[in-house]
Structure 1
Amino acid sequence: MPSFGERLSQLRKTNNLKAEDLADIVGVKRRIVFMYEKNESKPSFDVLIALADYFNVSLDYLVGRSDEAKRK
């Protein structure tokens, strides 16, 4: 299964978002988004929840524990 960084990158690109736009949405700096995507940093719970809410996916999908994106 994809890593968190791979999944985040795929979601961002699929939704035609620039890293800067996503950073503004979840309240981090643009370089932090790139660090997440390269698996060099892990987000806080608050950021994980904000990402899952924004992309309307489950936390398990976002962190690579499931291939089922939809929330139950």
Structure 2
Amino acid sequence: MSIEEAILLDTLRCRLNFLRTKNDYTKKDVADKLNLPLDQYETYEAGESLPSILELIDIADLYLITLDYLVGKTEN
């Protein structure tokens, strides 16, 4: 894994956790809203794997945020 990939995983892990807790969702709530198995979503929030681009779009839509924010390209 490259340093860029490690940074992306860590940023995504932090943002997913922040957004979920900010919205008072459980991991199961988010997994259900994204139509994902809970264990798959948990790997994203643990920083163990990356969602597909379609899943990233669904996550951004769920929280009404941009993909740029989600992957750490912007702070807004």
TM-score of the superposition, structure 2-length normalised?
0.82
Aligned to 2:3: none
Aligned length: 68
Aligned mates of 1:37, 1:23 — CA distance in 2? 11
Aligned to 1:13: 21
Q: Which runs of 5+ in 2 are unaligned?
A: 1-6
Larger Rg: 2
Matches within 5 A, 1:1-72: 3-68=11-76
Aligned mates of 1:62, 1:19 — CA distance in 2? 17
RMSD value, Cα = 1.5
Bigger helix share: 2
* Further displaced range: 45-54 or 29-38: 29-38
Q: Which runs of 5+ in 1 are unaligned?
A: none
* Further displaced range: 1-10 or 13-22: 1-10
Task: After TM superposition, give the deviation of residue 32 of structure 1 in Å.
Answer: 1.6
Runs of 4+ in 1 over 4 A off after TM superposition: none
